[in-house]
Amino acid sequence: MTIRNRVVAVAAGLALAALPGLAGAQQFINILTGGTSGVYYPVGGALSKIYTEAMPDAKVQVQATKASVENLNLLQQGKGEIGISLGDSVKLAVEGNAEAGFPQPLDKLRGISAMYPNFIQIVASQDSGIKTLADLKGKALSVGAPKSGTELNARAILAAAGMSYEDLGKVEYLPFAESVELMKNRQLDATLQSAGLGVASLKDLSTSIPITVVSVPEDVAASLGAPYVAETIPANTYDGQAEAVPTVAVINYLVSSDAVSDDLAYQMTRSMYENLDELAAAHAATAGIDVKNALQGMPVPLHPGAKRYYDEVGVAAE
């Protein structure tokens, strides 16, 4: 090859690398999840495996985070390509709710897909005597990491029940695993965890001490309204839970940003839906994901790359 031809070849290669969606920086995929004892983390691990197999040239990694609120702020800052978040957190992020952890509206967020519902699971030690929401008064409750999606859920649930943190004996702002350890050591009465059914932390707790799963009555669910919906924690989800327990749930969403190319967003959306069995194998909470519900209640503008996939499979926006 002549020197001139080499120069032309190099220039062509550089031009190709600069195109969006092709080899280069855009092919790095950082998946923002949550704590390692929650559901987001194993789901992110399954997505990592799917993306790696579907896009062999991409470098994929899973990042453990404080979940919803942190994930959305990181996406806005360009520090992740895709992340999981609760629907109410996404809505508050778009609005710019400072109390929820969003001093300014996050305008770069783009939706990929609805995922699975997070069930609000309030679990108390039997020794605490807590059987109802009202029984939480004067007790020690862990409400999740500060300004996490779980903590926002805790504030909303208590408010709908006519209570606040001031009614509690003590408030702990701890991730799931740490909350469970304190309960095992009888240093905490109850924990509120917003997660998929069968979350590892509560399974661990239920096999360690006798528990009571506290119900969230229908009138509280009705008072909360959208994006909360009435749901039920099936009997025997956790050891010692003999009966089904009413509660509320919030849909989780996969979210990206406008910095992610249309091609990459398309590939991430398509590869997930073509490998739902791998997601379900990672955690049972994802077993009900259905492309027909992908745009259900989407609280943020849809990414054009994801829309391209939904157009191909005949799924229209609500």
Spatial distance between the Cα atoms of 179 and 151, rounded to a whole number of angstroms: 13
Residue 143 C-beta-side C-alpha neighbours within 13 Å: 23
Predicted pLDDT of residue 318: 64
Strand intervals (E) in 126-201: 140-142, 170-172, 190-195
SS3 labels along 188-233? CCEEEEEECCCCHHHHHHHHHCCEEEECCCHHHHHHHCCCEEEEEE
Q: Is the pLDDT of residue 8 over 50?
A: no
User: For residue 15, is pLDDT > 50?
Assistant: no
The residue type found at 94 is V
pLDDT tens digit sequence for 41-80: 999 999 999 999 999 999 999 999 999 999 999 999 999 9
pLDDT bracket for residue 24 (50, 70, 90): very low
Tell me the C-alpha distance between 135 and 217, whole Å: 13
Predicted pLDDT at 227: 81
Please give the angle made by the CA atoms of 29, 31 and 37, to the nearest 5 degrees. Answer: 155
User: Comparing 101-110, 125-134, 226-235, 248-257, which segment has the lowest mean pLDDT?
Assistant: 226-235
pLDDT exceeds cutoff 80 at 143: yes
Confidence band of 10 (pLDDT split at 50, 70, 90): very low
> Which residue's entry shows tokens 């799924």?
315
Upper half-sphere CA count for residue 315 (Cβ side, 13 Å): 20
pLDDT tens sequence across 300-317: 999 999 999 999 999 997
Residue with tokens 């990459």: 264
Percent pLDDT > 70 in the chain is 92
The CATH 3.40.190.10 portion of the chain extends over 3-115+253-313, 118-250
Lowest mean pLDDT of 102-111, 141-150, 184-193, 239-248, name the range: 141-150
pTM over 0.75: yes
Q: What share of the chain is helix, strand, coil (3-state, %, to 5)?
A: 45, 20, 35
The whole-number average pLDDT for the span 8-25 is 40
CATH annotation of 118-250:
3.40.190.10
pLDDT in tens, 234-290: 999 999 999 999 999 999 999 999 999 999 999 999 999 999 999 999 998 999 999
Within the chain, strands assigned E span 28-32, 59-63, 82-86, 109-125, 140-142, 170-172, 190-195, 211-214, 228-233, 245-257
User: Do residues 229 and 87 make contact, with C-beta atoms less than 8 angstroms apart?
Assistant: no
Residue 18 pLDDT greater than 70, yes or no: no
- pLDDT, residue 159, reads 96
Contact between 32 and 249 under an 8 Å Cβ cutoff? The reply is: no
CA 193 to each of CA 43, 160, 163, 313: distance values in angstroms, whole numbers, following the listed order: 17, 17, 18, 35
pLDDT at 12 over 70: no
Please check the confidence at residue 192 and state whether its pLDDT lies above 50: yes
> What average pLDDT does the structure give for the chain?
91
**Whether the Cβ atoms of residue 85 and residue 117 lie closer than 8 Å to each other:** no
Asked if the model's pLDDT at residue 115 lies above 90, the reply is: yes
Report which of residues 203 and 13 the model is more confident about.
203
Fill in the amino acid letter for 206: S
CATH number of 3-115+253-313: 3.40.190.10
Residue 141 and residue 13: Cα distance in Å, rounded? 58
Cis ω before 227 (30° cut-off from 0) = yes
